[in-house]
Chains A and B, each alone.
Chain A
């Protein structure tokens, strides 16, 4: 803080002050501006990396159009639009994992293990299906798979919570390591289940989730169900966090552990219970992936969404309803960048670069929401007034 030292010599060009409050509209304006700046920077990055764009700068229109094309098949009605529904489905899965990490985050329990917890959910569901698929009827199997997913997800989340509650073991590092234990556990079971050595399980021949027939296309029906389930969960979690006593306890523990202790909240119990909720929600996400979409499990079943979910949840300030927006934004970016690789015929991991750039912009924008920059001129005015 060299600015303060200089203060004795001369007024600094600007200084920072924490805002006491900001109008919600202004906050959202700043965030929107950050996203716009992010998209402009993405364009610049694309210009540096895609040769086709350098040769023909006019194609930049195609570039930005890709973000819409990525989630929308043109000339299709709402219920026939496959890309749109695929987008809803992807958003729903990401949203579900984001919901899962949220209660723990509100408690300032930095659960970086959603990836592993969700993967264990997938493994639990598919494990049950693998062993029982010939001995129980289809509908019972689906229920048992849900139980398997919930149990596995919950166990994976509660283990670090127990150690945190009892010995204050660092939860960020513990949950992070549990991800990799889960990954190798999946490859262990794949070796056992697939004797040929290819380690690829393939789609199991099991009954799919019951669908609500809203469209002629079966993939849209699948997406509809998953989207609906996750939207209901979003509402439930919002109510749980905002209006229930348990949700209130989570907030108190998050704000100050000592305050919680003095007011008679059993902090250990809250930690374990909240991580149980997190783990169960991860289990649901795992079930939706395993039983609802893939009917199979690989080490890449969750594909890093457990980590993306952490960012989605944080960007939404841990508000489940806002998470619908933030998870949609991340999914749009991914789908758009995917489309760009097709339009411009480029290899590599461009989507990640774009997601990274936009995230940086939004993360940076939070600073301007929480703090205000006061320039020298204003401060001088203030002094003059004081002199008068």
Chain B
């Protein structure tokens, strides 16, 4: 395969990790909750999926069942973490930033504890090929285009349709923009906040699972996962709070993040060692630029949800 095409596919496949994360975070932010626990939730999602695979990986169950149960494990574990966050911020009305950061500390730590106890040979070596269907065994970047890759793209598109083309999506966006008005219009704000945050967390959790089981597929993968959780939050801004835009965004981010090591391997292009960190800085720098430009242009549809990060208590209106 053409080396450039291979690299492009590799970038997109890498980007799926934060495509999941940012799609989940967008849904959460549309409900007005800035969930800084996303890195922890992605880690716990990965751990949950691997925990299930560790139990059933060597059991001889049919392949499709193993795949589905692994995905369920990841989603449920991530949803559980999301539920903790939602309970604290919606029901107990705690500060979102502080709760999110505590959840990240907790989730990343617990994930490392869990993963260090699992058997790499059971949860990874066998199931890896199942998840990489139909391209398992390929030696180029096509091998990453497995079930979770397509699922990620599908979820991003479906999320956009639900958010911008359905009544439920309209209600959800209203909750994130102005919960007081939404409440007055008869939308159950608490219910929407709970649903959006927990579903969003479940989706984000798949990102961690994909990274460990498919894209990296190595024993040490989980140690580098947290950084991509933070990158997911950056991608939300880059995508201007539109889930389908995360597909493009994750390609760009994946490209920027891995091009430093890729370009160094091409003959004729000389990259100094010093350029590498600067290239890795690019996704974040570009995100800041997008944030600045969108706030300067001040177009309403490109802004963060109005009540993002603000608590809503009915009694205090």
B residues in contact with A112, CB < 8 Å: 36, 97
In the complex, how many angstroms separate the beta carbon of A255 from the nearest chain B beta carbon? 14
Complex CA–CA separation, A350 to B34 (angstroms): 26
- Taking the complex as formed, is B167 at the interface, i.e. its CB lies under 8 A from any CB of chain A? no
A308 CA to B108 CA, complexed, in Å:
14
Given A191-B274, A366-B94, the answer on whether A169 and B292 have CB atoms closer than 8 Å is yes
Alpha-carbon distance A366/B94, docked complex (angstroms) = 7
Chain A residues, Cβ within 8 Å of B104: 307
Specify which of A191, A360, A370 is in contact with B102 (CB 8 Å cutoff). Answer: A360
Q: Does B178 contact A (CB under 8 A)?
A: no
Q: Which residues of B contact A356 (CB under 8 A)?
A: 102-103, 105-107, 109-110
* Cβ of B190 under 8 Å from chain A: yes
Contact with A along B276-297 (1 / 0, CB 8 A): 1110110011011001100110
> A92-100, A137-145, A171-179: which lies at the B interface?
A171-179
A364 touches B105 (CB 8 A): no
Partner of A168, one of B112, B288, B295, B316: B295
B108 x A188 contact (CB < 8 A): no
- By a CB distance below 8 angstroms, the chain A residues around B59 are none
Complex contacts, A344 vs chain B, CB 8 Å: none
Q: Which of B98, B103, B190, B233 contacts A176 (CB 8 A)?
A: B233
A115 to B73, CA, bound (A): 33
Give, as a whole number of angstroms, the nearest-CB distance from A50 to chain B.
10
Within the complex, the shortest CB–CB distance from B149 to chain A, in Å, comes to: 26
Asked whether, in the complex, the Cβ of B277 is within 8 Å of the Cβ of A348, the reply is no
A306 to B103, CA, bound (A): 16
B102 touches A177 (CB 8 A): no
| Chain B hits for A355, CB < 8 A | 105-106, 109
8 Å CB contacts to B: which residues of A309-343? 310-311, 314-315
CA distance A18 to B311 in the complex (A): 15
- Contacting B88 at CB < 8 Å: which of A173, A176, A364? A364
Say if the beta carbon of A347 comes within 8 Å of chain B. Answer: yes
| Residue of A whose beta carbon sits closest to that of B284 | A180
- Cβ–Cβ contact B98 & A311, under 8 A: yes
B21 within 8 A of partner (CB): no
Task: Name A173's contact: one of B105, B108, B237, B285 (CB within 8 Å).
Answer: B237
Q: Let me know if A350 and B95 touch, CB within 8 A.
A: no
Q: Is B120 an interface residue (CB 8 A)?
A: no
Contacts of B315 in A (CB 8 A): 18
* Interface status of B169 (Cβ within 8 A of chain A): no
Distance between Cα atoms of A371 and B277 in the complex (Å): 49
B273 at the interface (CB under 8 A from A): yes
B-chain residues with CB within 8 Å of residue A314 when the two chains form the complex: 95, 97-98
A110 to B116, CA, bound (A): 35
Contact for B281 among A184, A357, A366, CB less than 8 A: A184
A168 CB contacts on chain B under 8 angstroms: 295
Q: How far is the CA of A163 from the CA of B308 in the complex (A)?
A: 18
Those of A158-215 within 8 Å (CB) of chain B: 163, 167-170, 172-174, 176-178, 180-181, 184-185, 187-188, 191-192, 197
- Minimum CB–CB distance for A268 against chain B, Å: 15
1-50 of chain B: CB within 8 A of chain A:
34, 36
Given the complex of chains A and B, what is the CA–CA distance between A356 and B94 in angstroms? 15
Min C-beta distance of B129 to chain A, whole Å = 28
CB pair B281–A180 under 8 Å, yes or no, is: yes
CB-contact partner of A363 in B88, B287, B308, under 8 A: B88
Question: A79 interface residue, CB < 8 Å from B?
Answer: no
Give B115 Cβ to nearest chain A Cβ, in Å: 8
User: Contacts of B309 on A, CB cut-off 8 Å?
Assistant: 110, 172
B106 in contact with A357 (CB, 8 Å): yes
Contact between chains at B287 and A352 (CB < 8 Å): no
- Interface assignment of B99: CB less than 8 Å from any CB of chain A: yes
Contact with B along A239-276 (1 / 0, CB 8 A): 00000000000000000000000000000000000000
Distance to closest chain A CB from B117 (angstroms): 8
Could you tell me the distance between the alpha carbons of A49 and B112 in the complex, rounded to whole angstroms?
Answer: 12
Q: B87's closest neighbor in chain A, by CB?
A: A364
From B298, which residue of chain A is reached at the shortest CB distance? A167
Contacts of A360 in B (CB 8 A): 84, 88, 99, 102, 106
A367 and B93 contacting across the interface, CB-CB below 8 Å: yes
| B308 proximity list for chain A (CB < 8 A) | 170
- List residues of chain B with CB within 8 A of the CB of A169: 291-292, 295
Chain A: which residue is nearest B226 at the CB level?
A304
Which of A188, A197, A311 is close to B101, meaning CB atoms less than 8 Å apart?
A311
> Which one of B36, B102, B234 contacts A359 once the chains associate, using CB atoms below 8 Å?
B102
Which residue from chain A places its CB closest to the CB of B102 in the assembled complex? A359
Complex CA–CA separation, A49 to B308 (angstroms): 37
| B92 interface residue per 8 A CB criterion | yes
> How many angstroms between the C-alpha atoms of A167 and B303 in the bound complex?
12
User: In the bound complex, how far is the Cα of B237 from the Cα of A174, in angstroms?
Assistant: 10
Q: Tell me which residues across on chain B come within 8 A of A184, comparing CB atoms.
A: 277-278, 280-281, 284
Residues on A with C-beta less than 8 A from B274 are 188, 191-192
In whole angstroms, what is the CA distance A95 to B26 when docked?
33
Tell me the complex Cα distance, A180–B288, Å.
11
Measured between alpha carbons, how far is A360 from B40 in the docked complex, in Å?
A: 14
> Does A172 contact B97, Cβ atoms closer than 8 Å?
yes
CA distance A356 to B109 in the complex (A): 9
Provide 8 A-B residue pairs closer than 8 Å at the C-beta atoms, listed in order of the A residue: A173-B233, A173-B237, A180-B284, A188-B277, A191-B273, A307-B101, A311-B101, A348-B113
Other A-B contacts than A2-B188, A178-B288, A360-B84, 4 sampled, CB-CB below 8 A, are A169-B292, A184-B281, A191-B273, A348-B113
8 A-B pairs with least C-beta separation:
A356-B106, A352-B109, A184-B281, A359-B102, A349-B109, A187-B277, A367-B92, A349-B112
Binding site for B on A (CB under 8 A): 1-2, 18, 49, 110, 112, 163, 167-170, 172-174, 176-178, 180-181, 184-185, 187-188, 191-192, 197, 307-308, 310-311, 314-315, 347-353, 355-357, 359-360, 363-364, 366-367, 370-371
